[in-house]
Amino acid sequence: MKSYLSLETEAKLKKLQELPPHIHFIGIGGIGMSALAMILVKNGYSISGSDRKKSLTLKELAGNQIHIFQTQEESNIDEILKVHGKNILVVTSSAIRQDNLELSQAKKYNLTINHRSDILAFLIEQKRSIIISGSHGKTTTSTYITTLFSYANRNPTAIIGGIVPLYKKNYNFGNSEFLIAEADESDGSLVKFNSNIGIITNLELEHVDHYQDLEDLIKTIKKFAQKCEYLISNFDCENIKHSIENTKWFSIKKIHNVDFALIPKKSNGYEIIAEYYEQEKFIDIIKIPVPGIHNLSNTVAAIAACRVAGILFKDIKKGINNLQLPGRRFEYKGLWKNRLIVEDYAHHPSEIDAAISIASTIINTKHNISNISPKRLVTIFQPHRYSRTEKFQKEFAESLSKSDLVFITPIYSAGEDEIEGINNKTIGYELEKLKPDLTIYTPENNQNLIKLIKKHTIEKDLILIMGAGDINIICANLFLELIKNKSINNNLAA
C-alpha cells in the first residue's frame, strides 16, 4: 500500500529551539505532563516542575535532571526566576485550578503561560504525526501503534496517556520521523493539532463537565477531523459515520465498503482470532493476544494507521504477537488470598461494560488463570467526577448490575466541587432498584471499603477494580500480600 505521507509536509516543520530554554510544568507528575517533560528534556531543554503527590514518575523525572518542587507555592516561581530569569515558559493543564499559587505568581510576573496542549501541538509540528482521538480506546490504540512501529524498526517518538508495556513508561524518545500521541477531547484542546494521520476510535457523550451534549462534542471532533491530512475512523460507530467526513474506514463487523476490517472468529478471556481484510480482500488470519472485542477495534485501528504510514503488513504481523494492553487496562495484578485481582481504568458506562464483558467471558468459559478458575465477579467501582456521576448514575447502575457483588466507593472529585445530593449512594439506589437481589456496598470512606472487601469476598472471586482516580492505590494497601503469580500468561499481564 502506498504511503500517503510521501506528500510534501516539510514546510510546516519548526525548530525546537523556538521554545524558551527553561520550561516549568505545574503538576508535572500527571500522565500527560510527565511525558511532555521527558521529551523536552531529551531535546535539550532545562525543565522543572511541581507536584504535591509523591510517585515513581517524579523519581524518574528527577533522575533525568528535572528539578522537582514537592509543593506548589509562590516561592517556587521566585526561585526559578532567580536562576533562569524571565525568559521561561510555564506549562499548565486543565487539572490545575485558576487559584493555584504557582499559576497566580506566574500571572503576577506576566510570564508566558501555555496549556499542555500547546506544547503537544508544537511537538506535533516537528514530525510526521499520528494522532489518536475518540471517546474510548485512545491509550490502548496509541500503545498498539507505538508497539507495531517499534517492532517494524520505525522507532517513533511517543506521548501516551498510560504505561506502554514495551517501554515500561508513558513516552518514547524515538529517532524516526514519526510522532504518535493522543488527542485529548476532554477539554476541547485537540482542535489545535495538525495531524498527518488522524484516528477517531469512537464517539459518544463523555466529559460532561465540558460538553453540554453529544452535538457539542461532535462539533469539536469535526474541527479535529478537518485538520487531519488523512483521517481513519470507526465504521461501526454510528455517531462517527453520520457526522464525520472521512478518508479511510476500519471495522470489526463489516468487510464491504471498508478499507481495513478485522472480523472476529473466536474469542475467549485471553486472545481473539480474526480474519484481516484490506479493501474487501482477505489478507490473513491473525491471533491477537489481548482479550475483549473492543480491543479488536483498537487493533484494526492501529493496523490501519501503520498501513497508511507505509509499513508492510508482514512487518506489522510480527508486532501483533507482542501486543499488550497498557497499564490499568484490564491489567492482571495476580492473586490475593486465592482471589484474582484485575485493574481497569474504566470510568464511563461503556468502558465498564467492556471490562465486565471480558471478566464474564473468563468466568463463563471457566478459563484457568493463575491456578484458579474464577467463579464469581466482584466489582469495586470508584466514580470519577461529580458531573459524570450526576449525568450517568442510571447508566452506571445498568453496567454494574452484571456483577455478582458490588462495592461503590466515595466519588473521586478530580478537582471538581461537590454537587449536592450526588454521591456513591445515588448509584447504589439506582442499582438496588434495577437489581434488588444484588448485594451492594456503598461505604462512607475508604477504610470501611477495605474492611468490607476483606469480610465479603471469597476464594475464586474475580475482583475487578475500576476507576480513573486513586482506587488502585487504595486497594494496593489491602493487597500488600499479593504476590504476582508467575503462572499468569505473559500475554495477559499488561
% of residues, the chain, pLDDT over 70: 91
Whose cell is 516537528? That residue is: 126
Query: What stretches of 148-271 adopt beta strand conformation (E)?
Result: 157-164, 169-172, 178-182, 195-200, 228-234, 248-251, 260-267
Do 437 and 291 belong together in one domain? no
Q: What is the mean pLDDT of the chain?
A: 88
Do 315 and 335 belong together in one domain? no
Last residue of a domain, one of 320, 349, 383: 320
> Using one digit for the tens of pLDDT, what is the confidence trace for 333-377?
888 888 999 999 898 898 899 899 889 988 887 666 667 788 999
Q: What is the pLDDT of residue 153?
A: 94
Give the Cα separation of 410 and 427 in Å (integer).
11
In a domain, 222, yes or no: yes
Do 391 and 250 belong together in one domain? no
Do 106 and 136 belong together in one domain? no
- Band (pLDDT 50/70/90 cuts) for residue 485 is very low
Specify the CATH number for the domain of residue 257: 3.40.1190.10
Do 340 and 308 belong together in one domain? no
Residue 70 cell numbers, joined: 514537592
In a domain, 120, yes or no: no
Do 132 and 108 belong together in one domain? no
Decide: residue 227, CB within 10 A, 0-12 exposed, 13-18 middle, 19+ buried.
Answer: middle
Give the Cα separation of 362 and 452 in Å (integer).
25
Please check the confidence at residue 6 and state whether its pLDDT lies above 50.
Answer: no
Do 131 and 106 belong together in one domain? no
Q: Mean pLDDT, to the nearest integer, of 327-338?
A: 86
In a domain, 9, yes or no: no
Last residue of a domain, one of 320, 348, 367: 320
Question: What Cα–Cα distance (Å) separates residue 375 from each residue in 5, 359, 360, 425, 466?
Answer: 50, 10, 9, 27, 19
Question: pTM for this structure?
Answer: 0.85
Do 197 and 153 belong together in one domain? yes
In a domain, 6, yes or no: no
Do 134 and 237 belong together in one domain? yes
Residue 131 cell numbers, joined: 494522532
Do 149 and 290 belong together in one domain? yes
Kindly report the CA angle at 445 between 28 and 409, in degrees rounded to 5?
75
Q: What's the chain's length in residues?
A: 494
Specify the CATH number for the domain of residue 426: 3.90.190.20
Give the Cα separation of 318 and 306 in Å (integer).
13
In a domain, 70, yes or no: yes
Question: DSSP class of residue 489?
Answer: -
> Using one digit for the tens of pLDDT, what is the confidence trace for 169-216?
999 999 999 999 999 887 888 889 999 999 999 888 777 677 778 889
In a domain, 7, yes or no: no
Range of the domain at 90: 20-114
> Using one digit for the tens of pLDDT, what is the confidence trace for 390-427?
999 999 999 999 999 999 999 999 888 899 999 999 99
Please check the confidence at residue 489 and state whether its pLDDT lies above 80.
Answer: no
Backbone angles phi, psi at 400, to 5 degrees: -70, -20
Q: What is the pLDDT of residue 5?
A: 40
Residue 255 makes CB contacts below 8 A (sequence gap 6+) with 261, 263, 277, 280
Last residue of a domain, one of 297, 320, 343: 320
Amino acid at 173: F
Give the Cα separation of 253 and 297 in Å (integer).
9
Do 49 and 150 belong together in one domain? no
Give the Cα separation of 263 and 275 in Å (integer).
5
Specify the CATH number for the domain of residue 32: 3.40.50.720
Do 449 and 394 belong together in one domain? yes
In a domain, 272, yes or no: yes
Pairing verdict, β 339-344 and 376-381: unpaired
Give the count of domains, the chain: 3
What b/e sequence results for 455-477 when a residue is b if at least 16 CB atoms lie within 10 Å of its CB, and e otherwise?
eebeeebbbbbbbbbebbebbee
Residue pair 197/131 in contact by the 8 Å Cβ criterion: yes
In a domain, 405, yes or no: yes
